[in-house]
Structure formats: structure tokens, C-alpha cells
Amino acid sequence: MKCLNGLVVAGKNILLRADFNVPMDQWRVILDDSRIRAALPTILYLIKHRAKQIVLVSHLGRPKGKVVEELKLKAVAQRLGTLLKIKNNLILGKVGNFKAYKLNPQIHLLENIRFYKEEEENNLEFAKKLANLGDVFVNDAFSCSHRAHASIEGVTHFLPSYAGMALEREVETLSSMTKNPKSPFVCILGGAKVSDKIDVIKNLAHKVDWFLLGGVMANTFLKAKGFDIKSSAVVNEKLDEAKKLYEDFGEKIVLPVDYTFGKLDGKDAILDIGQTTVSMFADYLRRAKTIFWNGNLGMTEIKEFAKGSKEMAKAVISSNAVTIAGGGDTVSFLNQYGFTTRFSFVSLGGGATLEFLAGKKLPGLAPLI
């Protein structure tokens, strides 16, 4: 992979793709700035090595090619300026043909790149206009690298392209985990995105010792096996695949044995794993040397149904394993209870992490190799 330590930065204009798609409340206050902080090492490296200008690119939310007031990046620019200890007032101006926030003469942040419909279309003329803002492109947005978008893949057709420090660490950590994991290797897969997680099982079945399933993922396998899950959320179109996977790797796929039911749209549904399952899963985790977790095991936004995931987090951080977590909902949950800092590594990728672990080629990574 082409990384920053192989690049002469001095005197060059750098086009830097970051992921500042941070959660905000209704007043547009940033709730978690982890993704902004993740970009700091690369930005500081570029400053230290005398880059002439750094033009940052990011999206926020899904404006679908239209300007949406609440998805403007002003709050992100302000937080970034604070973290970089830039005292100047924020100025909204232009860089080339693009609206941008000027943090200081050296650093600019373009307005939400998804305000342009050409971004998600990966329009090459649009990508060329972006590329004109830099001499070199640096991709530090691993979490977006499964998207063939103009600011991720398109610009690489026009500029020499390199991996940023956060992206480099993501790839190195996940590659090491999948190629040379310490055994026993335990994968906790919960939440939704069942299709992606089924692909992870397919790709890693010969490396992972046990998959511990919860959430919609577990519901789909339980229904495929003929269990009555009442009105629980399930992905019906994946039932056949789930059944076949269980037939092939049933000794590795560990399903809940008891559940906590609640009301979902007025109907009974599984909303958390039960205490017997918590104890059973914890036993597997005590034996593990490598643990990867993506997807909560219950409806954690409701405190009553967060118990299973909370107990699992305690079991993970109490283990002697290398511990890796990924997925937006999972990381937000772990942050809420202060568990994140006790993991060996926290991936900021959601769909990108799953596609990487499923063995798929990511459009944003291919040009960097």
C-alpha cells in the first residue's frame, strides 16, 4: 500500500478525503467526534512536513445531491479548528469552484461533498474538478472506501494517490486479524446488515473458531432452523443461506438459547439475549485469544434491552484476547459506557469493515495498492 512515509509533502497541495460523518443532536451539536480525531495524525503529519495547502473533503448524512441546511459542515469545521488549536474565525469562502470553510491560510474544508449529485454518481468530470484542487490525493476515509464515489475512487484517476495514517492502520489491523489471528478466534455478530455478515461468515468460517450471534442476525438463523421467534425482526430473503451455513458450519455458529422479549410495533419480539445466553457467550470469550465484535445483541437504544450487550462488553474487555470492535452502532454503544478505550482497536468502518472481512475488493483501496 502506498503510504504517507513514501511521499514528499513539502510545497504540495494535498487533497485529503476524511470521514467527518459524525452523529449530531437536533441542535447540530456533535455527539461523538471520534472520526474527526481519527484524521488528526494525518493532518498534523502534513502540516509538520510543510504541505503548502490541505483541502479536506467529507460528507455528512445523505442529502442526495441537494443542499440541506442541517447537513452543512460548519460544526465539523469548528470542532476541527478547536482540535487543531486554530484560533482564527471560521471563514466560508471558495476553493476553486467549491464552497469551503477556511480554518487558516493552509487548511480548508469543502462543504458537504454529497450536496453534489455527481459525488455518488462517481462522475469523472466532477472528480477531475476535485482533483484540480490538489497535487496529491490522500485517502484517510477507510469507512467510505467501499463506495465508488468521486471523492473516493474517481479522483484517483487524475492524481497520485496515497493512504492516510488512519486508513493504513485500519487495513493493517484487519488484515492481520484475518490472515494470522491468534486462536481461538471468536466473532460476535449482531445487529442488522444480515447480508454483509453472512458474507463474513462465509469468508472467515475456516479461520474463526466460533461465531456468537445476536440481534437480527441471530433471529434470521433461529427462524431458518424452525424456531418460533414471534414478531421479531428477521431478513426473510436470507433464510435459505442461513440454513445452509448452519448445516455446513453448525459447530461454529453459536445461537442464543434464551431471550428477552418486548413489544415491537405492539407485538412480541426478541429484543435482547437472555441471561443463560450471556453466561454461555462469556464462556467462549474467556477462552478466546482474538475477538472481533460488530453489531449489538439487543435493542440497545432502550436501556432495558441493553443488558446483554453491556455484559458482553464487560466479558470482552476482561478477556486476555486481542479485541477489535467495528460498526457505528456498536462503537457508539461502547462509547456510551466508556468501554471503547479498553479495546485493542476500534474500527471506524461500518459497511467497509464488513466488506473487507468478507473478502470483497473495496473501490477506494484498490488504487492505493
**Which positions are annotated as active-site residues?**
35, 193, 328, 351
CB 85: neighbour CB atoms within 10 A?
6
DSSP 58: -
Residue with cell 488549536: 85
Helix, strand or coil for residue 218?
Answer: helix
CB 303: neighbour CB atoms within 10 A?
9
CB 183: neighbour CB atoms within 10 A?
13
Distance CA 22, CA 4 (A): 25
DSSP 253: E
SS3 content of the chain, % helix, strand, coil (to 5): 40, 20, 40
Phi and psi at residue 140, to the nearest 5°: -120, 20
DSSP assignments along 115-171, one per residue: GSHHHHHT-HHHHHHHHTT-SEEEE--GGGTTS--TTTTGGGGTS-EEE-HHHHHHH
